[in-house]
Every structure is written in C-alpha cells, then in structure tokens.
C-alpha cells in the first residue's frame, strides 16, 4: 500500500514539473507511475513495479514525445507589425517630397524617405519598405 502512495506522489510531481516547465516530457512518466501503481494492486514486487515503470516510460516517451512536439510545432501565422501593413499602400502627397518628409497614416505621423524622383503635391506615391523607423516611398508607377 505504501508503494501506491509513492507512485501517486511520483505521478503528481512529474505532472507539476510539466505544468511549470511546459516541456510536455515529464507527463509521460506519470503514465509509467500509474502502470506501476496498477501492478502494485496485483501484488507485484517493488522490483517488478520499477521495471514496469521504466518500460512504460520508455514506450510512452519514444512514441508520445515526438507526436506531442510535432503537434505543438504547427505553424502559427505571425501577425504583421503595425508598420508592415503599410507596405504597398498608395497615398497622395499633401506636399512636395524631395528626399525626406512626413506623412500621416491612421492618425500617426511617420518619417518617410523618398528613393525615387521628387513627388509633387497631389501625385501618388507607394510605400515600398521600412528602413529603421522610416517608411521608404517611391512615386507611383516608377520602377
């Protein structure tokens, strides 16, 4: 009966370790502890319980851990940063933009760097990339 308590403690400890580490490896040891606990109910010796614990652990870790890791590594789509969603946006210039300037997007002012021909007020330009904290723009239709 005391070995059942020991196997319960082992099972609880490995589950607690798994919860705190998010490793999903130690919970498989709980299955081995449960199998050893069941063998105690059928009056197995302590040595037999330990062997059952080890064998069940080897099997569950060898099969379960790779499957768990594979299911956890499913690709989660990355949400774009706020400024990344501006790439490709076409805007109309409110003032002339030679090399650098400022524009307002969604209520926020951004520094811009023009890498093409001068953009006159009223002409359209496209945000093509980000460099540091500046949006890189080019006159619409320009290669």
Judge whether 22 and 72 are in contact, CB under 8 Å: no
pLDDT top residue among 143 and 79:
79
pLDDT in tens, 74-131: 666 777 777 788 899 999 998 889 999 988 888 888 999 999 889 999 999 999 999 8
- Coil, helix or strand at residue 6: helix
Q: What are the residue ranges spanned by the domains of the chain?
A: 2-72, 82-139
Quote the tokens at residue 123.
């002409």
Nearest to 127 by CA among 114, 117, 143, 118: 114
* Cross-strand pairs, 109: 104
pLDDT of 128: 93
Which run of H or E residues covers position 128? strand 124-131
**How much is the pTM?**
0.49
Q: Hey, what CATH class is 82-139 in?
A: mainly beta
Q: Which residue has the higher pLDDT, 23 or 48?
A: 48
Cα distance between residue 136 and residue 116, in whole Å: 10
The residue-averaged pLDDT of 26-53 equals 90
Over 43-103, what HEC string results?
A: CCCHHHHHHHHHHHHHHHHHHHHHHHHHHHCCCCCCCCCHHHHHCCCEEECCCCECCEEEE
Specify whether the CB–CB gap between 103 and 135 falls below 8 A: yes
How do residues 8-19 score in pLDDT, each as one tens digit? Answer: 898 899 888 888
Write the pLDDT tens digit of every residue in 68-85: 777 777 666 777 777 788
Question: What is the crossing angle of helices 2-21 and 27-41, to 10°?
Answer: 170
Assess whether pLDDT exceeds 70 at residue 143: no
């Amino acid at each position: 009966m005391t070995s059942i308590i020991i196997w319960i403690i082992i099972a609880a400890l490995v589950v607690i370790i798994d919860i705190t580490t998010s490793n999903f490896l130690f919970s498989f040891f709980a299955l081995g502890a449960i199998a050893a606990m069941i063998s105690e109910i059928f009056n197995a010796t302590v040595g037999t319980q330990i062997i059952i614990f080890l064998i069940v652990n080897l099997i569950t870790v060898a099969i379960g851990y790779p499957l768990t890791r594979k299911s956890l590594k499913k690709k989660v789509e990355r949400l774009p940063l706020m400024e990344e969603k501006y790439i490709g946006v076409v805007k109309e210039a409110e003032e002339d933009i030679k090399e650098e300037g400022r524009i307002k997007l969604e209520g926020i002012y951004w520094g811009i760097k023009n890498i093409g021909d001068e953009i006159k007020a009223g002409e359209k330009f496209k945000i093509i990339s980000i460099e540091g904290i500046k949006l890189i723009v080019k006159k619409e239709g320009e290669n």
